[in-house]
Amino acid sequence: MAPSTPREPPIDRLIDAALAATSGACMVLDEGLRVRFATASAAALLGCAVPRGVSAPALLCGDKPKRPVAEALAAGEPVHALVPRPGGDDEHLVRIRSVPLGTGKKPLGWLLTLQDAGAIGSDRTVEFHGMWTRDAGMKHVFTVVQKIARSDATVLVRGETGTGKELVAQAIHRLSDRKDGPLRVINCAALPANLLESELFGHLKGAFTGAVRDTPGHVQLADHGTLFLDEVAELPLELQAKLLRMLETRTVIPVGGRDPIAVDVRVVSATHRALRQEVEAGRFRADLMYRLRVIPVFLPPLRARPGDIEVLTQRFVDELNARGKRRVDHVAPAALAALEHHDWPGNVRELRNTLEYAFAIGEGPELVAGDLPPELVEPGLDAEPMLAAAEVRPTPASDAAPEARRISAALARTAGNRDQAAKLLGLSRVTLWRRMRQHGLV
């Protein structure tokens, strides 16, 4: 037996310590996506052994038929994904990011960093393509979106306004094989039927007065890409028939034309309505509903995911801090309570606008309840008063009507610039002017 001699620490242990210090749990892959090195913490996080030479896609995604992460890795694309923990049940998620190694065009290999994203049901915060959440329902949506993105299946996203339907459509597009193609967005509620038809399907020269040249519609412009039909329940019945025809034949006929034009589009649609009810009310075709809703995705309203208000508040405060106009280090408990108490009919969009308002209205490193729009904090406007009095900053005209006060504050903030004040308040210039007159502020 060889006598035990004092040895230098094995190089592996040094590398492990260095990688763990700089990147946490991670794996180094060669160009063939085989694991050349994995930190001990990576194995612990994945809950399984990570033998040298094992294929990373197989390790992370097994041989499941839909392996979006594996496919992205194999295609040499940057990965930013949540996958179920290989050594656990499907409920525990690991976050994976990939960094190409080397400076050449073709990477030498990849560094995969791994993070514990917690159980779907845990309240750990995750981010997915610009969407932040700690809500189990939202995390579930992310895993579904990842699974279905690379297929061509038609997706219907349902959720109230401001819940992130468009972000989901963007994520699907970006994760799909069509990502280098166009993503065309059309809001079916924004236009009257005749205009909408030509916007969607295009028109030929002379089809109507003003049609001076052949013009492709959104469907054609989305060729080899994704067409996002927002507020699809508002599509008039006659256009529903045309959309159905398009989905069935994969062709469009422009207004004024006769010959079908072949298109290759993936359709993602969204609505704030229950399509089934629209069908029952005779406003929506059942056959079209089934076509659109091959994969339904439901986004819960913000008030149904209360933990997210704090998460998103912090997120938006960070974003607004980065703009550099004001730095908020702390959101006062009463302000957070007021935010959590509100029922957010405009969901995440409304929360973002509210924080933008509070940023502009208030001053200093603490965001206090008095910075929030009156309807969130005025006892008269909201059911339950919840303010610590000390947190409400006195304003010069604190007995004026809340709206007048809001307008004055916005004008003070913008040094009297009405354009900017209108923007801040989410009003048109004309409306601002009219309200200023009503309140005797002119």
Least gap, CB of 348 to ligand ADP (angstroms): 4
Distance CA 76, CA 107 (A): 9
118 binds ligand ADP (CB under 6 A): no
150 binds ligand ADP (CB under 6 A): no
Q: Sheet harboring 80-84: ordered strands across?
A: 35-38, 26-30, 109-119, 92-101, 80-84
132 binds ligand ADP (CB under 6 A): yes
Residue 409 neighbours by CB distance under 10 Å: 24
Please give the full DSSP string across 191-229, using - where no structure is assigned.
Answer: S-HHHHHHHHH-B-TTSSTT--S-B--HHHHTTTEEEEE
Q: Do 62 and 36 meet the contact criterion of CB atoms below 8 Å apart?
A: no
**In Å, what is the CA distance from 144 to each residue of 59, 150, 297?**
20, 11, 8
From residue 299 to residue 338, the character string flagging contacts with ligand ADP as x (rule: CB under 6 A) and all else as - is -------------x--------------------------
Alpha helices by DSSP H, listed for 250-393, are: 275-280, 286-292, 307-322, 333-341, 347-361, 374-377
Choice from 84, 162, 300, 301 touching ligand ADP (CB under 6 A) = 162
352 binds ligand ADP (CB under 6 A): yes
Bridge partner residues of 229 (DSSP): 186, 269
Distance CA 193, CA 313 (A): 39
Of the pair 98, 271, the CB lying nearest ligand ADP is at 271
Give the nearest residue (CB) to ligand ADP. 164
Within 8 A by CB and 6+ apart from 426, the residues are: 353
Least gap, CB of 431 to ligand ADP (angstroms): 22
Instruction: HSE, CB side, 13 Å, CA atoms: give it for residue 147.
Output: 15
Least gap, CB of 346 to Mg ion (angstroms): 11
Least gap, CB of 222 to ligand ADP (angstroms): 18
Of the pair 12, 343, the CB lying nearest ligand ADP is at 343
Within 8 A by CB and 6+ apart from 357, the residues are: 371, 372, 373, 424, 425
Choice from 46, 114, 131, 372 touching ligand ADP (CB under 6 A) = 131
Piece of 70-78, 101-109, 128-136, 236-244 that binds ligand ADP (CB under 6 A):
128-136
From residue 79 to residue 98, the character string flagging contacts with ligand ADP as x (rule: CB under 6 A) and all else as - is --------------------
- The tokens describing 219, both together, are 């469907």
Going along 104-244, which residue ranges are E strands?
109-119, 126-128, 131-133, 155-158, 183-187, 225-230
352 binds, among Mg ion, ligand ADP, none (CB under 5 to 8 A by kind): ligand ADP
Distance CA 279, CA 290 (A): 11
Nearest alpha carbon to residue 139 among 151, 125, 150: 125
163 binds, among ligand ADP, Mg ion, none (CB under 5 to 8 A by kind): ligand ADP
Least gap, CB of 186 to ligand ADP (angstroms): 13
Distance CA 264, CA 346 (A): 34
From residue 160 to residue 189, the character string flagging contacts with Mg ion as x (rule: CB under 5 A) and all else as - is ------x-----------------------
Piece of 37-45, 201-209, 233-241, 344-352 that binds ligand ADP (CB under 6 A):
344-352
367 binds, among Mg ion, ligand ADP, none (CB under 5 to 8 A by kind): none
310 binds Mg ion (CB under 5 A): no
Q: Do 81 and 57 meet the contact criterion of CB atoms below 8 Å apart?
A: no
348 binds, among Mg ion, ligand ADP, none (CB under 5 to 8 A by kind): ligand ADP
268 binds ligand ADP (CB under 6 A): no
410 binds, among ligand ADP, Mg ion, none (CB under 5 to 8 A by kind): none
Within 8 A by CB and 6+ apart from 146, the residues are: 68, 69, 81, 82, 175
159 binds ligand ADP (CB under 6 A): yes
Nearest alpha carbon to residue 421 among 404, 412, 430: 412
Least gap, CB of 313 to ligand ADP (angstroms): 11
Of the pair 163, 226, the CB lying nearest ligand ADP is at 163
Piece of 90-98, 158-166, 315-323, 373-381 that binds Mg ion (CB under 5 A):
158-166
Within 8 A by CB and 6+ apart from 23, the residues are: 39, 111, 113
97 binds, among ligand ADP, Mg ion, none (CB under 5 to 8 A by kind): none
Interface with ligand ADP (CB under 6 A): 130-133, 159, 161-167, 312, 348-349, 352
Interface with Mg ion (CB under 5 A): 166
